[in-house]
Chain A
């Protein structure tokens, strides 16, 4: 089973390079990164992934027994942390929490993440190459309107459902109601503790008086 991971990696590399080729801002970012090498060591699943940057994109390779001095930065993390990193979580915070280890240039890791997260391919330009300017613009406008409508409809639906469940039907408590209840219960718990302590002190006092 040697080729499936290679096929997967080749597919990811091809997709990323295709996206980078369609992003007008990518060439200047890649020019800054060109020639740099980043080694990503995943703990679970165990995987070493080398990223080589060049002016036209990046190469992804699974090097056999890689030596760290051949790389500008070596990053060690697990799959969950990789997800958080690509989700935009602060690199410093992840390092501080001990989830992420970076040896070498931290800036290279930041620049790599920014390159991937800030990808903004020019879809309309690519469509125009195939369909022509006017149809491509019409199609792109239609897609943009559909996307806006979808986002708005999604937000409104969430809001309506929440209002019905929490306010009208009162099926479950809302977040604020839940927190309010929790605060009351905490206060009741503390008051009960105090009362228990007072009763214990009173009992001890009565026992001492009875002995006298």
Chain B
């Protein structure tokens, strides 16, 4: 097997592992978190996450397109349309990864506004920064390596905060939502775009077939690793459903929390306002 092929297979295995991680904490003497349907120590998970993100950053966009058939771009587009961002606004794009949302936001806020692309992973930030610079985006964008659970910004800083496909990977989701609400200006909006629960039983069945049967087989055929792709489906099932996430957002003090199911609830866009 050529080195190039070996590298590609390693990448696919690691990418599968990335989606498998849906960490959360459970009470007890030792903090644990989800790794698919398994529980692993938080410290171990953190280092694995870092390694995986460092590894997949360069091809993150391509894999997202491949696994969602490109629909993730429409989901993100709808998030932007619902953001209400205007010229002069300050926007925080948490877990912004390769900068899909930041690119559009930077044009919407204009030279008087500011967009902060935050990600916990340095490699993702570097890829995002390079991509944005290649697209001519510069002056009004800042890059911050930050943990969503403890955002390094003063209270009431941003008009809009978004987190797209990132909350699932945050260890303590409630803490992250509290941190976002704190950094949000009164009147500002938090938007959470994340995998959720399909509302149609038929779609749910088809989605399960795709996730638990087809994806692992593709993983087995392409990367020789079915488990990582099974974890991907498991981690999505471990994420709070629409109602639960809505209640979690309301518990942090956000008001008028509502959600929109996209693609039959496979993904949901939650929005809350700080009053």
Contact = CB atoms under 8 A, between A and B. Distances in A.
B107 interface: yes
A160 interface: no
A210 interface: no
A10 B74 CA distance: 8
A97 interface: no
Given A2-B260, A2-B262, A52 B108 contact: yes
A70 B81 contact: no
A64 B84 contact: yes
B152 interface: no
Interface residues of B, number: 21
Contacts of B260: 2
B43 to A, nearest CB: 40
A61 interface: yes
Contacts of A59: 104, 107-108
A186 B13 CA distance: 87
Given A35-B111, A70-B86, A64 B135 contact: no
A59 B135 CA distance: 13
User: B-side binding surface: helix, strand, loop or mixed?
Assistant: helix
A67 B85 CA distance: 11
A64 B107 contact: no
Contact of A2 (B78, B86, B87, B111): B78
Interface in A38-95: 52, 54-56, 59, 61-65, 67, 70
Interface string B216-253: 00000000000000000000000000000000000000
User: A-side binding surface: helix, strand, loop or mixed?
Assistant: mixed
B109 to A, nearest CB: 10
A59 B100 CA distance: 13
Contact of A37 (B80, B87, B135, B263): B87
A6 B87 contact: no
Given A55-B136, A56-B135, A61 B81 contact: yes
A67 B111 CA distance: 19
B87 A61 contact: no
A22 B260 CA distance: 37
A171 interface: no
B74 A63 contact: no
A212 interface: no
B31 interface: no
A65 B107 CA distance: 19
Contacts of A7: 74
